[in-house]
Structure 1
């Protein structure tokens, strides 16, 4: 049997990393910060040594999970950030895309909840850069859409309310195993119609 090529090794590494990340997100939803590398290995159906080869401790794993989630979040909302139409339509589109991504991808939900919680479960200041990047690439562009599209007197407060609503709806779906699928359109319509009527 011939040795694997660099490309084959890279493909295996990428597949393993994806498997570990997905398992880590699922375990985090079950156990929060109490998750251990062993839990992730069991969920991923990998040997403990395999997971440990990639991540020496859970903090390194969670850090990668959150950074990866930031890139996924940015990709999900990019059409709203760069699309045509007025800022109100863009803000609504942004919220829809973000809610869909939260429901489909637990790591994005974990990122939003962690940012909303101000990283209080994580020791030290290791997430200052992640928080700054989230602000610059996700939060502040959305605040600007809210400012221009809704004419909000306090766009940060309104943006926080929207983000909180999206996180809350996703949490209900995840933790209460709702039997019917979340109606993204209805939720976003309700949030924005409530905000607009209050702003008038």
Structure 2
């Protein structure tokens, strides 16, 4: 049997990493920060040593998971940030896309929940850069849409309310196994009709 090529090894590594990331997200939803590498290995149906080969501890694994989630979050809402239409329509589209992504991609939900909790479960300052990037790439562009679209006196407060509502709705649906039942359009319409009427 001939040895594997570099391309084959890279493909196997990428497949393993995806497998580990998906398993880590599932394990985190079940156990939170209490998850261990063995929990991830079990979910991924891989040996403990295989997962440990890629990640020496759960914090390194979760850090990669959250950075990947940030990239996927940005991709998910990019069309709202760069699309046509007024700022209010963009903010609504952004919220709709973000909620859909949270429901279907647990790592994005974990990112939003972790940011809203200010990383308080994680030791040290290793997530400062991730938080700063989240602010720059996701949060501040959304605040700008709110500021322009609603002429809000406190766009940060409105943005926080929206993010909190999206996280809360996703939490309820994930933990009650209702991911396919959530009314994304109804939730976003309700949020924005409430914010607009309050700002008038």
- For the aligned pair, the TM-score class normalised by the smaller chain equals over 0.9
Which residue of 2 is the match for residue 164 of structure 1? 164
Partner of 1:129: 129
Using the alignment, how far apart are the partners of 2:179 and 2:65 within structure 1?
28
Q: Which structure 1 residue ranges, 4+ long, deviate > 6 Å from structure 2? A: none
Q: Distance in 1 between matches of 2:177 and 2:45?
A: 24
Residue 197 (structure 1) aligns with: 197
**SS of structure 1 residue aligned to 2:84:** coil
Alignment of 1:41-120 (within 5 A): 41-120=41-120
TM-score, normalising length: structure 2: 0.98
Q: Counterparts of 1:98 and 1:66 in 2: how far apart (Å)?
A: 15
Q: Give the total of aligned pairs.
A: 200
* RMSD (Å) for aligned C-alpha atoms: 0.8
3-state DSSP of counterpart to 1:75? helix
In structure 2, relative to structure 1, the CA distance for the partners of 1:20 and 1:155 (3 Å cut) is same
Kindly state the Cα deviation for residue 3 of structure 1 after the two structures are TM-superposed: 1.0
For the structure 1 residues 180 and 9, does the alpha-carbon distance in structure 2 shift closer, same or farther, using more than 3 Å as the test? closer
Cα deviation for residue 179 of structure 1 reads 7.5
Q: Which residue of 1 aligns with 2:33?
A: 33
TM-score, normalised on structure 1?
Answer: 0.98
SS in 2 for 1:190: helix
Give the stretch that moved more between structures: 166-175 or 177-186: 177-186
1:151 aligns with 2:151: yes
Between the aligned partners of 2:100 and 2:28, the Cα distance in structure 1 is 20
Runs (5+) with no aligned partner, structure 2:
none
